[in-house]
């Protein structure tokens, strides 16, 4: 029988289809599909190192917003812990792809990225990818392990809404600044429009 390259193996530049001893055509197809799905252009060690370099605090967009606030004359606290009660807070889910294990529990406290206690304002500086900025070019979904990533990222978005609702219930003003906004002049306009005027 003449050997032929499958589309998957042709894309990967692999050798022609080979049968292992005692292996049928269907088993070969399953083996090839599994190798294609789990294929990553980076090694497992390199991918792990890349993920370990992603910060949860003191990110570049956060530093940009802090610098702008400081120049505008505001003084603030970083990652301050706010006790909340969220037994009666309800958040409507916009997606049906969330699995039961990603359903967020009621948090006991919230840590905004930037806190202005004098103005009762909490500011969250969100990454467009990790917190699902809808309509943004940076809000992409990895193709490898897509279901796992969707559950994780959508869970982040639901948790964000839960935290914001809990803070608003306590009387806090909540602002969300996205990564793409922090990198352009739009951030300055947002801060000037939404923040209360500083007392002279």
* DSSP H/E element including 169: helix 146-169
Q: Are 8 and 36 in contact (CB under 8 A)?
A: yes
Q: Are 84 and 167 in contact (CB under 8 A)?
A: yes
* DSSP H/E element including 121: strand 121-126
Q: What is the CA radius of gyration of the chain?
A: 23
In degrees and rounded to multiples of 5, residue 67 shows phi and psi of -60, -40
Please state the domain extents for the chain: 7-39, 56-194
- Residue carrying the six token digits 């006790």: 83
* 87-107: pLDDT as tens digits: 544 444 444 444 444 444 566
Instruction: State pTM to two decimals.
Output: 0.66
Q: What angle do CA 108, 113, 114 make, to 5 degrees?
A: 110
* 131-170: pLDDT as tens digits: 999 999 989 998 888 999 999 999 999 999 999 999 999 9
Highest mean predicted confidence (pLDDT) among 13-17, 53-57, 73-77: 73-77
The CB density around residue 116, as the number of other CB atoms within 10 Å, is: 21
User: Which of the following CATH numbers is that of domain 56-194: 3.40.960.10, 3.30.70.1520, 3.40.190.10, 2.30.29.30?
Assistant: 3.40.960.10
- Residue carrying the six token digits 């967009």: 61
Distance between CA atoms of residues 185 and 61, nearest Å? 13
């Amino acid at each position: 029988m003449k050997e032929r390259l499958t589309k998957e193996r042709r894309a990967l530049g692999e050798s022609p289809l080979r049968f292992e001893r005692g292996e049928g055509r269907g088993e070969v197809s399953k083996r090839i599909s599994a190798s294609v799905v789990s294929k990553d252009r980076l090694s497992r060690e390199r991918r792990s190192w890349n993920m370990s370099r992603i910060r949860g605090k003191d990110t570049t967009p956060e530093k940009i917003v802090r610098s702008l606030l400081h120049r505008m004359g505001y003084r603030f606290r970083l990652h301050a812990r706010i006790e909340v009660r969220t037994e009666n807070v309800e958040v409507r889910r916009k997606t049906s792809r969330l699995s039961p294990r990603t359903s967020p529990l009621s948090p006991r406290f919230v840590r905004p990225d930037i806190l202005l206690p004098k103005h009762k304002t909490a500011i969250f500086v969100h990454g467009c990818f990790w917190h699902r900025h809808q309509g943004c070019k940076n809000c992409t979904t990895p193709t490898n392990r897509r279901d796992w990533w969707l559950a994780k990222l959508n869970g982040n978005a639901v948790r964000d809404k839960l935290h914001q609702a809990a803070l608003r219930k306590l009387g806090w003003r909540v602002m969300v600044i996205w990564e793409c906004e922090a990198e352009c002049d739009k951030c300055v306009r947002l801060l000037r429009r939404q923040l209360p005027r500083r007392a002279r």
